Amino acid sequence: MTDEKLYELVCNVSKEIFGKDFLHRAFFNKRLRSTGGRYMLRTHDIEVNPLVFEKHGMEELVGVIKHELCHYHLHIEGKGYKHRDADFRELLKRTNSPRFCSTLIERNKQVRASKYTYQCVKCSLLYNRKIRLNTKKFRCGKCLGELFLIPLEKLK
């Protein structure tokens, strides 16, 4: 889908659902990562993440457009356009617009393995860390013993 077709779709949805004209720009923004779209307060433009259409199809895209148009029309009219405002929530319900879009990015559920393991000289407590720490500056939290780095070869 092109930016021109997106603009036409936004204009059509605005006219059909809200009964009002959309007078600004609408376009895809590939740099959006975790959000489906956004309404720009200063320019009144609407940006949409292209992954919404690619991953979830036309129905989800129309949902994101309706959500952003709720922000747009309320802001233009000087009413509460923010997510927490009663005007916004009421317009979402009236237009059957989604509050959130579907997940666009897959979260990495694996916990990163720690690169460094330290052991206390006194109580032998192990500390796993992602970032190297200064053993002259830090001590054991349990007994204040000195810490030393255990080489990776000994851990395997």
Beta bridge partners of 129: 116
Q: What letter represents residue 42's amino acid? A: R
CB 90 within 8 A of CB 82: no
The residues assigned a catalytic role are: 68
Tell me, what's the pLDDT at 92?
A: 94
Tell me, what's the pLDDT at 109?
A: 53
Determine whether 91 is exposed, middle or buried from the number of CB atoms within 10 Å of its CB (0-12, 13-18, 19+).
buried
Q: Which of 120, 155, 156 is nearest to 141 (CA)?
A: 120
Q: How far apart are CA 6 and CA 3, in angstroms?
A: 5
Tell me, what's the pLDDT at 120?
A: 94
Q: What is the dihedral of CA 26, 87, 17, 38, to 10 degrees?
A: 20
Percent pLDDT > 70 in the chain is 92
Interval 78-123: pLDDT, tens: 999 999 999 999 999 999 999 888 777 766 555 556 789 999 999 9
Q: What is the dihedral of CA 80, 85, 88, 90, to 10 degrees?
A: -120
- Mean pLDDT, to the nearest integer, of 138-154? 88
- Mean pLDDT, to the nearest integer, of 124-140? 92
pLDDT at position 38 over 90: yes
Tell me, what's the pLDDT at 101?
A: 83
- Mean pLDDT, to the nearest integer, of 12-26? 95
Tell me, what's the pLDDT at 104?
A: 76
Please report which confidence band the pLDDT of residue 151 belongs to, taking 50, 70 and 90 as the band edges: confident
**Average pLDDT score, the chain:** 90
